[in-house]
Amino acid sequence: MQLLPTTLLFAALLGIIPAASANDIVPTPKQSHTVLIKNATVHTVSQGVLSNTDVLIENGKITAVGSPLNTSTEGETDTQIVDANGKHLYPGLIALDTSLGLVEIEMSRPTVDNAEVGDFNPQISTASAYNPDSELIPTIRYNGITHAQIVPSGDGLAGQSVLVNLDAWTIEDALKPSAGQFHVYWPQIKHMPEDEKEKAKAIEKNQQAIDKLNVAFEDGYRYFLSDQHKSEDEGNQSNTKNLRWQAMLPLYQGKATLFAHADTVGQIEQVIALTKKYQFKLVIVGGYDAWRLASSLREVSASVIYPHTLSLPKRKDEPVDLPFKIPSLLANAGIPFALGFSSDWNSRNLPYAAGYSAAYGLTPEQALKSITLDAATLLGVEDLGAIAVGYQGSVVLSEGDILDPMTNKILAIWIEGRQIDLNNRHQQLYQKYLKR
């Protein structure tokens, strides 16, 4: 991941990717004036749906929600007043499990930087490779997505993810403080061979990968124990530090969360066993079979990021609509969950995946919460994902239902109180070919 800036520089100099490295949308400056959105149908997520309600945003935060708001700022010239009568106001959507900003053109290797060499890289963070100028970002946020979890790919312990807002000049501007997020891709046999000898080899290879991971986590734990009892002599400390194990200390200290990418019953059971051994905070990413292990997941207080709503069934004998129903099965089983979308450009379909889950068992309120407040809570962020006093002023104004592709029409987006430019590559191409 650390090689991305150099790679992009040489590619740009050679003219290989002149249009792929950056968009031309200028990020909006920090909020400098009050925003008053009036008469909206406000989907607060935390307090239900409020009709004909006003929302006041100051200094990047929501400072009042009411009907009507009696505020002295309403008549001031530095107040942006938005008449939202007949319109819907939502919290900004949070896209989980994305490679946005790490992948530009999937078939162009110089623009793909979502994985690092090796299968144990806890010290690597996607912040080192994230490109806030990605051409994909303006197209993603056009569907109401204001924040994204940028996740590393790979085998084994792939590294750490970060939460970013989608309107920033640099990674420092984009980063949203959140709990540490370590991602492990639990080994699995993707295609079981029919030949018995090849099947045995595949099983043995998979077990070796699991054993290797278990050894690595045990090594990290022993480093954690030694760190607890280390000498106070600073000179001796510097000689014993290991970047990989040092990076993992927050995980063993309970200050970070293990995001385990696992779908099957077997994988999830192995991850739960690991979690019990080291008392990790656990989030299952994938979780196709998680609803079958409800009691075990509740026992370790695990949550689930479910990204398969628009997928086909994983087994031939399963109902074709099972992937659509799994969010409701998780809800009925009492497992905390949020919806994700494991993609880069395609993560723009996140609200429609939530809409599908609402059509197959979730209530519309549960579906919306799964991509707003539940997603923020799962990441350890306490001021994002709802329209309430003290929360971030990251909101989306839509003409219709944000979960419905037929009526969803985004009219305006504010991130931390600043209204962002909705122009994007899709709109530009549409206008270009409209005039052909």
pLDDT at 17 over 80: no
Mean pLDDT, residues 4-21? 41
Highest mean pLDDT among 121-125, 187-191, 241-245: 121-125
Residue 348 sits at φ, ψ, to 5 deg, of -65, -20
Q: 34-86, pLDDT tens digit by residue?
A: 999 999 999 999 999 999 999 999 999 999 999 888 655 444 558 899 999 99
| pLDDT value of residue 234 | 53
Q: What is the DSSP string of 388-422?
A: STTSB--EEEESS-TT-TTT--EEEEEETTEEPP-
Q: 114, exposed or middle or buried, with CB in 10 Å at 0-12, 13-18, 19+? A: buried
DSSP 105-145: -TT-GGGB-SB-SSSB-TT-BGGGT--TT-THHHHHHTTTE
Lowest mean pLDDT among 27-36, 239-248, 337-346: 239-248
State how far the Cα of 164 lies from the Cα of 146, in Å rounded to an integer.
9
**182's tokens:** 């370590």
pLDDT at 230 over 90: no
pLDDT for 435 equals 87
CA distances from 172 to 1, 130, 169, 175 (A): 17, 10, 8, 6
Average pLDDT over residues 345-363: 95
Q: What's the pLDDT score for residue 24?
A: 76
Cα–Cα distance measured from residue 177 to residue 199, given in angstroms and rounded to the nearest whole number: 45
Cβ atoms within 10 Å of 86's Cβ, excluding its own? 10
For residue 325, CA distances in Å to 94, 251, 361, 369, 370 come to: 21, 32, 6, 16, 14
Residue with tokens 């980063």: 175
- Are the beta carbons of 192 and 204 closer than 8 angstroms? no
pLDDT at 16 over 60: no
The domain limits of the chain are 31-92+385-436, 93-231+241-380
CATH architecture for segment(s) 93-231+241-380: Alpha-Beta Barrel (3.20)
> What is the Cα–Cα distance from 115 to 333, expressed in whole angstroms?
34
Decide: 286 and 263 in contact? Cβ < 8 Å: yes
Confidence (pLDDT) at 239: 54
Strand partners, 61: 58, 392
CATH topology for the 31-92+385-436 domain:
Urease, subunit C; domain 1 (2.30.40)
18/134: higher pLDDT: 134
Selected residue with higher pLDDT from 244 and 72 = 244
Q: pLDDT (tens digit, 9 = 90+) per residue, 204-214?
A: 999 999 999 99
Sign of CA dihedral 158, 162, 166, 171: negative
In whole angstroms, what is the distance from residue 41 CA to residue 52 CA?
6
Q: pLDDT-based confidence at 1, cuts 50/70/90?
A: low
Region 94-103: mean pLDDT is: 96
Provide mean pLDDT across the span 14-20. Answer: 42
pLDDT at residue 9 greater than cutoff 60: no
What is the model's pLDDT at position 78?
A: 82
- Sign of CA pseudo-dihedral 422, 426, 428, 430: negative
Residue 309 has pLDDT above 80, yes or no: yes
pLDDT score recorded for residue 10: 35
Which of 108-122, 139-153, 402-416 is predicted with the least confidence, judged by mean pLDDT?
Answer: 108-122
* pLDDT tens, residue by residue, 250-287: 999 999 999 999 999 999 999 999 999 999 999 999 99
Predicted local confidence at residue 209, as pLDDT? 93
Q: How confident is the model at residue 23 (pLDDT cuts 50, 70, 90)?
A: confident
Is the predicted pLDDT of residue 18 greater than 50, yes or no?
A: no
Q: How many CA atoms lie within 13 Å of 232's alpha carbon, on the beta-carbon side?
A: 0
**What's residue 77's pLDDT?**
59
Q: What pLDDT was estimated at residue 160?
A: 97
pLDDT of residue 12: 40
The mean predicted confidence, pLDDT, of the chain is 90
Q: Which runs of consecutive H residues, i.e. helices, occur in 229-319? A: 234-240, 243-252, 265-278, 294-299
- pLDDT value at residue 74: 47
Is a pLDDT exceeding 70 seen at residue 6? no
Instruction: Go through the chain and tell me how many residues it has.
Output: 436
User: If DSSP codes are grouped into helix, strand and coil, which group holds residue 170?
Assistant: coil
pLDDT given at position 4: 42
Of the listed ranges 72-81, 212-221, 397-406, the least confidently predicted one is 72-81
* Model pLDDT, residue 311: 94
